[in-house]
Amino acid sequence: MLVGLLAHGVWLTGVLFSLNLGVPAGIVALITALQPMATGAFSGLTTGEQTSRHQWTGLTIAFAGVALTILARMDFSDLGTSGAYLIPFVSVAAMTSANLIEREMEIAEHWRLLPMDQTLFLQSLATFMVFILPAVFFEDLKTQWKPPFILTLMWLIVPVSIGAYASMWKLLERMEANRFAAFFYFSPPVTMLMAWVAFGDTLLLTDLGGLTIVFTGVIFTQKHSFKRAGKD
């Protein structure tokens, strides 16, 4: 449940709370994009899986792609409350810790103590315990059951909480935490592509350029990791 508390509850709380305090979405995305680098920095200490020079190069290239995508869309005239900028770093710490704990459990062969469905249930339960308090004390459990809310809720439950997190833990079974974390870099540019397809948002050349750079960095990281594994 600790992993779920960190990966679901604390991660989302930090992101949503910082947005609510006026931190621009682009800045939040840019700060949370530091998560793969944080994983690379601490994976050697926690899991014993050192991040190589080639992997650091790939992580840096991918981060540059994320920065290009986000900064091109930033409105620097509305930067919100300065103190709130520290909150997304809590999300980074939470997701990094969750990934490293999960990977360490897999290395120690503790993962298979529970099947995937029970694992996701317990993690979702931990998330529920985090969000129920503000829902009760600040919103009085009031909900407007309108189609946009229902569709959003379905999206968060099925593709995200079940599909994405199940895929995430499965990947952590099969690869090092630093290699896996690199895939987080795809989130901002892919989100912009999805917004273009689903909502007709304007797609900038920097979006495509950023996605290309991210793809290059991630592939660079994975490629050199495969080569190193083949030599061992």
> How far is CA 210 from each of CA 32, 37, 70, 198, rounded to the nearest angstrom?
16, 18, 9, 20
CA 177 – CA 104 distance, rounded (Å): 9
Tokens standing for residue 207? 């979006």
pLDDT of residue 230: 45
**What SS3 class is residue 221?**
helix
Q: What is the pLDDT along the chain (232 residues), one digit of tens a residue?
A: 677 788 877 888 888 888 888 777 777 887 888 888 888 888 887 878 888 888 888 889 989 988 888 888 776 666 555 678 888 899 999 988 988 888 887 777 655 556 777 778 887 887 787 778 777 887 777 788 889 889 888 888 888 878 888 888 788 778 888 788 888 888 877 877 877 887 787 888 888 888 899 889 888 887 655 444 444 4
- Check: pTM over 0.85? Answer yes or no: no
Nearest CA to 186 out of 207, 166, 203, 165 is that of 207
pLDDT of residue 228: 46
pLDDT of residue 110: 55
Domain range enclosing 72: 2-231
Cite the DSSP H helix spans in the chain: 2-4, 11-20, 25-32, 35-46, 53-71, 87-107, 116-137, 147-155, 165-174, 177-181, 187-199, 205-231
Tokens standing for residue 38? 């944080």
The domain tally of the chain equals: 1
Tokens standing for residue 23? 């931190």
Nearest CA to 102 out of 34, 186, 161, 167 is that of 167
User: Contact, 99 vs 182, CB < 8 A?
Assistant: no
Nearest CA to 206 out of 84, 73, 51, 63 is that of 73
